Amino acid sequence: MKKRLFRILFGVILAGILLLTALILLINYGAFGSLPNKADLQNYKNKSAALILADGGELIGKIFAENRTNILYGQVPDHVINALVATEDARFFQHDGIDSRSVLRVVFKSILLSNRESGGGSTISQQLAKNMYGRQKHGWLTMPVTKIREALIARQLEKIYTKDEILVLYLNTVAFGENIYGIEAAARRYFNKTAMQLSIQESAVLIGMLKGNTLYNPHRNPENALARRNVVLAQMEKYKYLKPGEAEELSKLPLILDYANPESEGPAAYFIVRVKAEVNRILKDLERPDGGEWNLEEDGLIVKTTMNLRLQKYALQAFKDHLGVMQKRLRNQYNNPAGLSSLKEINDSLNLSDVVLHAGLMAMDPSTGAIKAWVGGINYQTNPYDQITARRQLASAFKPILYTAALETGISPCHYLSNAPIEIPGFQDWSPENYDNTTGGYYSLAGALAKSMNIPTVNLYREVGFSPVSDLWGKMGFSFDIHDNPSLALGTAEASVYELAIAYASLANGGFKIDPKCIVSISAPDGKIIYQNTFTPPTERIISENTSFLMSAMLQKAVREGTGATMGSVYGVTSPWAGKTGTSQNFSDAWFGAFNPGLVIVTRVGAALPAIHFNQGSNGAGSTLALPLVAMTLRKVELNNFAAGDLIKPFRVMPDELSGALDCNDFRQGDLLDKVRSFFNKEVKVEKPEKQLSKPAETPKAVEKRRSIWDIFRRKKTPG
C-alpha cells in the first residue's frame, strides 16, 4: 500500500515536473507571446516626464505620458536601497534573479494548491520584469505563465545588468500611486524633495507603498502609511541595515508630508499648457542622436522657461488676496431677492454659484518678449480656460492705441481737444459722455488720456480718422476686425490680455513689435542642450521711436495723476510706471496694463457672462478691480528688492527735440485765448463729423516753431 502511494505521489511529482518543463519550453519559444531578447533588454527605456523649470531652475511642472523622472544609482541614498532589499527581497544579492526558496513555495502552494495567500515570491528582478513588460491573461494558466515569463526575463536581466543597475532600474519603473512612477517622482510628490534628500523614515514610507500604493498612500491613508512605515523600519533592523533600537526610535516620529502636485496644483498650470505647445513646435525641427523624433511626454527632456517664479508667486498671491475680497462683494451684490431675480432675468438656469470673477495676468520683458508671469485663471482644475487668451472689449485700455496713431500723424501731446457735448450724425445721434459726466473746455492730448476723458477722445478719433488707427491695429497684431465707428474710440474693439501686452510692449521698447516666448533652453536627459533661445532684439518697427517716447511719458502721467494714481497713493508702488485702466460698459470687464522698459504687465477681470457684473465703479472699474492685481504684485517686488534691475528699469531720458512736449496744462477753459492756442496747436481740422481733412505729419522743427508762436501769446498774458 505504501509503495503504491509512493508511486502515485512520485508520478504526480514527475508529471508536475514534466508539465512545468513543457510549459517553460513553450513559454521560452513564444507560445504565449515572444520574450524580449538581449537587445530589447539592453535598450529598454522608461517613459520619462519632461521637467519644466523656471528661469532660476525651480521645478514648476512636468509634461508626461507617465509621471516619471529617471535617476542614476548615485542619486539614490543607501537607506532607500536598504529599505527596498530588506522588505522586498532579502536575498537579492545572493541569487541570480530567481530565489529557489520562493520558487518552491510558489510551485507547491501558489500553483499546485492555488493558494494565492501564500505570497508571490517574486524577486526584485522578477518584479522589474513585470514592471517593464506588464502581464497578459492566459485563462487558468495566467499565474504559472506570468511567473515563468518573469523568471526567464529576470535571469536575462541579471546577465545583462549589475545588481546596482537592476535596483535603480526597478526604482525608476515602480508605481507609487496617483499616476506617478519611480522613486524620484514619488519623493517630489509626497515630500517635495529629491530622492537623494529623503530621510530614513521618509524612504521607509515610500518603500512601504510598494505593498499597496493606494492602501498605504501617505496622503490619502496616513494611518495605514505610518503603520506600514514602521514595518519597513523593523525589517531594516532585522537585516542589520539599522542599529539595534534604531527602528523603535524612528517609529516614534510622526508622519510629516510636504505634499506637492505641480501637475495640477502647481504655480504655473496654465503656463505649462503654453510651454507644451511651444516646445512641440521647436521639437519638429530637431532630431534625436539616433535619428528619431523627440517625444516631449516620454523622453525626459529638461525645459528651462522664462518664468520668473517669484514674480509668478507674487501675482498668484495678489489674485488670492484681491479677488477673494472682490468675489465676496460680487456675491453679496447678488445674494438678495433683487440680485437673484436679476440673475434669472439673464438666464433661468443661472444661480449664485455662477457669480464668479475670472481673471488673467501676463507679464513679459518688452525688449525680448520673454514671458515672466502667466496666471491664466483662478483655478486650473475647475476653470482650465485660459483668460489670457480670452477676447473681451478693451474699453479705455484701447485709448493708448488711438492716441499713438494720433502722435504718428503728427498731432502733439499739447494739442487741445474740445470737451463740449457732441452728437455724432449718422450714428443714431450718439452722444458720448465722460465718466464723471463733466463737459466744457478743452483737454490736451496728455490730459485727456491721463484722465481717460471720453468726449475729447471721440473728437480725437474724428480728427485722426479710421485709417491710421486701423493700420496701427493691424501692425500691432490684433486679431479682431475693427470698423469705422466713433464708438471705436472708447474701446468697443475686442482683444486679449496677450494681444494687449504685445501692443503695450511696443510703447515700452522704442516702437518694435515683439513675439512672446517662454522657452530658454531644452536639454536632453543627460544635460546636453539641444535648443537654446538667443532672444535677439526685435527688428519689426511699428511706431516711431519719438512716438514711443511721448506715449511712455503720457501714460506715466496717467499713473502719476490720472486713473492709475492709486498705484502709488493706495498700494504704495514707488517705482515709475506707465499705464492705462479700462472699464467696459456696465462694468462687465476691468482692465489695467502697466509698463516700464523692463516689464509689461497686463490684466483683465470679469465674469464669464458680461451680464454678471458689479453695479458701481467703486467695485467694478479698472482702477478698483484690475489695477490692484498689478499694483499688489509690483509692490511685493519692491518690498523684497527682488530683481529690481531686471523688472523695474528707469524710463529713457526724453531726447532734446521732444523735451517740453508735455509742458502744457491738462485743461483750458473755452475762452478766446484758448481758441487762439487751439488754432496754433491743431494739426488736423474737421469741417464736418463725416469728412476729414488730412495733413502731412509735422516735423520737430515745425512743432518747435509753433510752440514759439504760442509762447508769445502766453508771455503777453502773464504779467511782468
What's the mean pLDDT in 673-699? 39
Q: End-to-end alpha-carbon separation of the chain, Å?
A: 142
Q: Please report the pLDDT score of residue 324 as a whole number.
A: 95
Confidence of residue 130 (pLDDT cuts 50, 70, 90): confident
What's the mean pLDDT in 351-380? 94
Residue 546 lies in a domain: no
Q: How far apart are CA 379 and CA 358, in angstroms?
A: 9
Residue 55 lies in a domain: no
Confidence of residue 24 (pLDDT cuts 50, 70, 90): low
Q: Please report the pLDDT score of residue 142 as a whole number.
A: 59
Confidence of residue 429 (pLDDT cuts 50, 70, 90): confident
- Give the lowest-confidence range in 141-145, 600-604, 609-613: 141-145
Q: Please report the pLDDT score of residue 696 as a whole number.
A: 38
Which phi and psi (to 5°) does residue 443 adopt?
A: -115, 135
Residue 457 has pLDDT above 50, yes or no: yes
Residue 361 has pLDDT above 80, yes or no: yes
Q: Please report the pLDDT score of residue 704 as a whole number.
A: 43
Residue 364 lies in a domain: no
Q: What is the 3-state secondary structure (H, E, C) of 623-683?
A: HHHHHHHHHHHHHHHHHCCCCHHHHCCCCCCCCHHHCCCCCCCCEECCCHHHHHHHHHHCC
Q: What is the DSSP letter of 354?
A: G
Residue 105 lies in a domain: yes
Of residues 622 and 717, the one with the higher pLDDT is 622
Q: Please report the pLDDT score of residue 719 as a whole number.
A: 31
Residue 205 lies in a domain: no
Counting Cα atoms < 13 Å in the Cβ hemisphere of 589 gives 27
Q: Please report the pLDDT score of residue 708 as a whole number.
A: 37
Full domain range(s) for residue 89: 13-43+76-173
Residue 148 has pLDDT above 80, yes or no: no
- Determine the 3-state secondary structure of 62 from DSSP: strand
Q: What is the DSSP letter of 48?
A: B
Burial class (CB in 10 A: 0-12, 13-18, 19+), 475: middle
Burial class (CB in 10 A: 0-12, 13-18, 19+), 43: exposed
Residue 692 has pLDDT above 50, yes or no: no
The crossing angle, in degrees rounded to 10, of helices 78-88 and 163-173 is 90
Nearest to 298 by CA among 52, 64, 59: 64
Nearest to 475 by CA among 507, 516, 517, 512: 512
Q: Which residue has the cell 514619488?
A: 186
Mean pLDDT of the chain: 86
Give me the CATH number covering residue 26: 1.10.3810.10
What's the mean pLDDT in 676-705? 38
- φ/ψ region of 61 (left if φ > 0, alpha if ψ in -120 to 50, else beta) reads left
User: For 186-212, how does the pLDDT look when each residue is reduced to its tens digit (9 = 90+)?
Assistant: 999 999 999 999 999 999 999 999 999
Residue 110 lies in a domain: yes
- φ/ψ region of 369 (left if φ > 0, alpha if ψ in -120 to 50, else beta) reads left
Residue 97 lies in a domain: yes
Residue 169 lies in a domain: yes
Q: Which of 66-70, 141-145, 305-309 has the highest mean pLDDT?
A: 305-309
Q: How far apart are CA 97 and CA 596, in angstroms?
A: 65
Residue 706 has pLDDT above 70, yes or no: no
Confidence of residue 693 (pLDDT cuts 50, 70, 90): very low
Which phi and psi (to 5°) does residue 180 adopt?
A: -120, 145
- Give the lowest-confidence range in 164-178, 360-374, 615-629: 164-178
The Cα angle at residue 353 between residues 261 and 382, in degrees rounded to 5: 20
Confidence of residue 604 (pLDDT cuts 50, 70, 90): very high
Confidence of residue 151 (pLDDT cuts 50, 70, 90): confident
Instruction: Tell me if 382 sits within 8 A of 425, measured CB to CB.
Output: no
Q: Please report the pLDDT score of residue 688 as a whole number.
A: 31
Cell numbers standing for residue 675: 481758441
Q: How far apart are CA 59 and CA 270, in angstroms?
A: 15
Q: How far apart are CA 590 and CA 622, in angstroms?
A: 4
User: For 266-324, how does the pLDDT look when each residue is reduced to its tens digit (9 = 90+)?
Assistant: 799 999 999 999 999 999 999 898 888 999 999 999 999 999 999 999 999 999 999 99
Q: Please report the pLDDT score of residue 127 as a whole number.
A: 86
User: For 470-492, how does the pLDDT look when each residue is reduced to its tens digit (9 = 90+)?
Assistant: 999 999 999 999 999 999 999 99
Residue 177 has pLDDT above 70, yes or no: yes
Confidence of residue 671 (pLDDT cuts 50, 70, 90): low
Give me the DSSP letters along 702-714.
Answer: HHHHHHHHHHHHH
Q: Please report the pLDDT score of residue 354 as a whole number.
A: 86
User: For 526-556, how does the pLDDT look when each residue is reduced to its tens digit (9 = 90+)?
Assistant: 899 999 999 999 999 999 999 999 999 999 9
Strand 599-607 to strand 529-532: parallel, antiparallel, or no bridges (unpaired)?
A: unpaired
Structurally, the chain folds into a number of domains equal to 1
Of residues 204 and 426, the one with the higher pLDDT is 204
Residue spans of alpha helices (H) in 38-194: 38-42, 78-88, 100-105, 124-133, 142-160, 163-173, 183-191
- The fraction of the chain above a pLDDT of 90, given in percent, is 64
Q: How would you label 189-203 residue by residue, b for 16+ Cβ within 10 Å and e otherwise?
A: bbbeebbeebebbbb
- Give the lowest-confidence range in 396-400, 419-423, 554-558, 603-607: 419-423
